[in-house]
Structure 1
Amino acid sequence: MEDKETNIIQLQEKLKVQEEKIDQKHVKYIDNLNKITNNLEKNQKEYEKRLIKIDEDITLKKIELEQMQNNNSNKKSNTPKISIIICAYNREEYLKRCLNSVKNQTLKNIEIICADDGSTDNTLDVFRKYANKDHRFKFFTQKNSGPGVARNKAIKMATGEYIMFLDSDDWIELNTCEELYKKVKLNDLDILLFLMKNYSEETGEYYEDSYYNLTPIPDDFENKVFSHEDISNIIFSISISACQKIYKRSLVKKVHFAEKLLFEDNPFFWGVMLQAKRMSLLKKHFYLRSRHTSSITSEYDNKYFDVIPISNKVISIFKELNLVNMYKYQLTNYKINYVSQWYHMMEEKYKNTFWDLMHDDFQKLHEDKKIDSLMLNNLNEPNKLFYLRTLKSRSYVELDYLEKYSDEK
């Protein structure tokens, strides 16, 4: 009996050893299989990357060849690759730096359209001198009407494949046009976004900020082509500056800048961004943004009041494009937050007039039951309270009291 038990135990041990060997072989087999699979996937990805790189290189070589042909040609009839629009009002002090940065671009086949907005200094003379020496410069002057009017006129004059905007006290890196043009042609883009860097005229220092670094857009979008739908959750956080993008001219022709209003970039931004089918990002600081006393502490006075019509123009764009429902949460909060932010930061002397305009504006929203319902159902708590308190108040003093008293509670 004992012998039988011993044999059984020995047999079980042998079986166990065999099972362990089989398990080890199985594990080794699986490991080898995984390695082979990983290598295949890696090789496939490398192969795909090489194909993409080859395709990009071929396209870039074609673009470079085309640029060389255009740069070596003396024919003025060539369609410019890029039209750069510069509007100026009394910017003689900074203008030459701006104009030299576009004059000396490595991409030569460009046109520069300069708009003098009724300057009282020598801005117009500076434009005229550059135009007399370089046929790529065009200029016009108008009575002082604001950048919106000037930019719209310049857009009508533009003949380039793409359009850029440059403020007259700012400047761009010398390879800007060449690098941007390569990217837009490579991917047949409607809009290409890039980064801005700030420059302090007082200290001579460069500095960056998250707004003009386009921080809300994920880094991997630099290698993607996208539309507004792909960034719908962050689009209201993106810099609206018209100068931070290059646009296909056919797209820009569909929209226009708000005229004789401050914040004219705002409706333009939404007009182009919501209609562009192919956008991309280039995370390089091509644009240098001048910051000086006159640009930072400029007196807004009654221009504060433009906030209200500008916000309504933005809503109208969403309506025209049938996108209100898609963006109802962001749009309603944008509307109230945009107005309330300016109300809370303005000087006391402007509040009475601003409150009148704001109260009338909110009252119209409230009387339209469909819009009022949209507001109440989508506004976050702070914006909803401001909307309702403004409607309830009978003056800016009462609104401020309601805000203060409720906050203390």
Structure 2
Amino acid sequence: MKTLTISVAAYNVEETLGKTLESFNDSRVYSDLEVLIVNDGSTDHTKEIAQKYEKLAPETFKYVEKENGGHGSTINKGISLATGKYFKVIDGDDWVDTNVLVEFISKLKKLNSDMILTNHVEVYPNHTKNVCLVERLKDGKEYTWDDSFNIKRVVLHTLTIKTSLLKENKVHITENCFYVDVEYVIWAAYVAKTITYLDMYLYMYRLGNSNQSVSKKNMLKNVGMQEKVSYQLVRLYDVFGKSHMKPNQDDTIFNTFKRSIGSTMRTYLLLNLDEAKKNIINFDNNIYSISSYSYRRLNDDAFIHLTRMNNYLMVPVIRWMYKFWVLKYEK
């Protein structure tokens, strides 16, 4: 059995996929690493680039072709085909630090925790930023949800999870939709019972491209997909929350879940005032109709609570402040 399966979500990434795959291309990890390059119906030269690496190291790189089904479908395909003990998702426009990957796999071979968390680096066109999302977790020590620590949130870039847990729990991510990475990571946090944090900066997360799905322009264009994912997260949190999670596990999942709900609300703020308020109220009412439990829990988030105050009276002020922030920092 391989130690680690990396599932690469690849859709029209001819400009970046070579860098992604080259970051895994090290003979020191060939025997321990499986890289599934899941081509999600690309129409560019993604296939040719992927097959080049498959020919180079067929024991490590495996090309998988499928019809277009969105990011979630590539994760689902990766889970179904993975043979490694651990599973990690990397987008086809991101990459890893190769030397850190070698060290990471060496440490993975000695671990048996359900969930492994690492740090990541945000890579902008003109600068980088190291990001650590955990507090009070010692490097290399195994924890359970009963222990005292703080995970600010789980994100795709920090997460590695036991493959068997995904398969046994029949984890299936929403398809034909952007922004599903949160659905995947809260599933992982829910099925995991033990956690180990490794203090290493493994994942290199590319940001600052206006064509990315996380740009404000594209988030507004795809707000319907944000809504779809948000409603699915509300359903999941309703199920997870009623299953008597450990308090620390609940907080970790909530910290991850609430950001997506808040992000959808903030996207509405990019509309004109009347449309913004109308959409926020409608969105919030839909959350309540899906799960009053999740709706009430979301009041613990400061931004959502402020937005809801006095029958959404603060929306004009919040909208003005948010648009000012976007204009200042995200041009």
Q: TM-score, normalised by structure 1?
A: 0.64
Aligned CA-pair RMSD:
3.5
2:99 alignment partner, one of 175, 178, 181: 175
Q: Which is greater in Rg?
A: 1
Q: Deviations over 1:328-377 (max 9, x none)?
A: 788778766643443234421673773364143145268x5x777x559x
- Cα distance in 1 between the residues matched to 2:13 and 2:177: 20
Q: In the aligned structure 2, how far is the partner of 1:382 from the partner of 1:198? A: 24
Q: Which residue of 2 aligns with 1:228?
A: 145
Q: What 5-or-longer segments of structure 2 have no aligned partner?
A: 320-331
Query: Do residues 151 (structure 1) and 75 (structure 2) align?
Result: yes
Please point out which of 160, 170, 174 is paired with 1:246.
160
Match of 2:17 in 1: 95
CA distance in 2, matches of 1:150, 1:156: 10
Cα distance in 1 for partners of 2:160, 2:257 equals 27
* Separation of aligned partners in 2, 1:208 and 1:402: 30
Structure 1 stretches of 4+ moved >4 Å: 324-338, 401-404
If the length of structure 2 is used for normalisation, what is the TM-score? Answer: 0.77
Q: Distance in 1 between matches of 2:301 and 2:122?
A: 33
Residue 72 of structure 2 contacts residue 173 of structure 2 at CA under 8 Å; is this kept in 1?
yes
* Structure possessing the higher relative contact order (Cα contacts under 8 Å, 6 or more residues apart): 2
Render the CA deviation track for 1:284-319: whole Å, top value 9, x for unaligned.
112222234233636123422334443343343344
Instruction: For 2:254 and 2:120, locate their aligned partners in 1 and report how far apart those are by CA, in whole Å.
Output: 29
Give the structure with the higher percent strand: 2
Structure-2 change in CA distance of 1:129 and 1:353 (3 Å): farther
C-alpha distance in 1 between matches for 2:36 and 2:188? 20
Q: Percent identity?
A: 20
Q: Do the aligned partners of residues 283 and 351 (structure 1) sit closer, same or farther apart at CA in structure 2, a change above 3 Å counting? A: same
Aligned to 1:140: 64
Gaps of 5+ in 1: 1-78, 405-409
Selected match of 1:354 from 279, 303, 312: 279
Alignment of 1:10-409 (within 5 A): 79-104=1-26, 106-109=28-31, 110-135=33-58, 136-200=60-124, 202-203=125-126, 205=127, 207-209=128-130, 212-214=131-133, 216-218=134-136, 220-230=137-147, 234-235=150-151, 237-241=152-156, 243-253=157-167, 254=169, 255-293=171-209, 294-295=211-212, 297=215, 299-321=218-240, 322-323=243-244, 326=247, 338-345=260-267, 346-348=269-271, 351=276, 354-355=279-280, 357-364=282-289, 374-375=296-297, 379=300, 383-387=304-308, 389=310, 392=311, 400=315
Counterpart CA distance in 2 for 1:333 and 1:249 is: 24
Instruction: Summarize deviations over 1:182-234 as a string: whole Å, max 9, x none.
Output: 3233231222111112333x33x4x224xx322x422x521421133435x73
Q: 1:332 to 1:159 in 2, by over 3 A?
A: closer
- Relative distance call for 1:318 and 1:301 in structure 2 (3 A) is closer
Of stretches 353-362 and 167-176 in structure 1, the one that deviates more from structure 2 is 353-362
CA contact (8 A) 2:95 2:204 kept: yes
CA distance in 1 between counterparts of 2:255 and 2:78 reads: 34
Report the CA distance shift for 1:128/1:334 in structure 2 as closer, same or farther (over 3 A): closer
Q: Higher helix share goes to which structure?
A: 1
